[in-house]
Each structure stands twice: as C-alpha cells, then as structure tokens.
Amino acid sequence: MDWQTLALIFVLVLIGIGGTVAAMAIGVIFKRPCLRGSCGGSAVLGPDGQKLSCATCPNRRRGPA
C-alpha cells in the first residue's frame, strides 16, 4: 500500500469515529438523563414515597463546585 491509500483509510476511520461520538453526544443531550450520583438516580424514593428528581435531591450542592 502506498501512503495515499493509508492516509485515505486514516481519514475515513477518523471521520467514522468522530461521527459516532457526535451521535452519542446528541443522544445524551436530547435525552437529558438524570445523572447517577449520591442520590442513586431516578429510582430512589423520598420520605413521602415520591421519586426524587435531580432538583429535589437533598444531597445536591447549593452553588458552584
């Protein structure tokens, strides 16, 4: 193989990987999942039996990190 063929393969693979990462990022942005952390995610129930959301988590930091 000559260097032009290798360069073309490299560019195509790079575009493919970049496209895959971009598609995953767009999926995460539009789905907007609640991150699992100290509250354990969306399956944790509060004292009243209701599901906790990220905004109502008692362990959430109140200000910049």
User: Nearest 10 degrees: CA dihedral of 35, 40, 42, 48?
Assistant: -140
> What are the extents of the domains in the chain?
1-32, 34-65
Per DSSP, 48 falls in state T
37 has a pLDDT exceeding 90:
no
Q: Token pair for residue 54?
A: 């990220």
- Secondary structure class of 51 (helix, strand, coil): strand
CA 23 to chain centre: 11
Given a cut of 80, whether residue 16 has pLDDT beyond it is: yes
pLDDT at 47: 72
Please determine, for residue 51, whether its predicted confidence score (pLDDT) is greater than 80: no
Give the pLDDT score at 32. Answer: 64
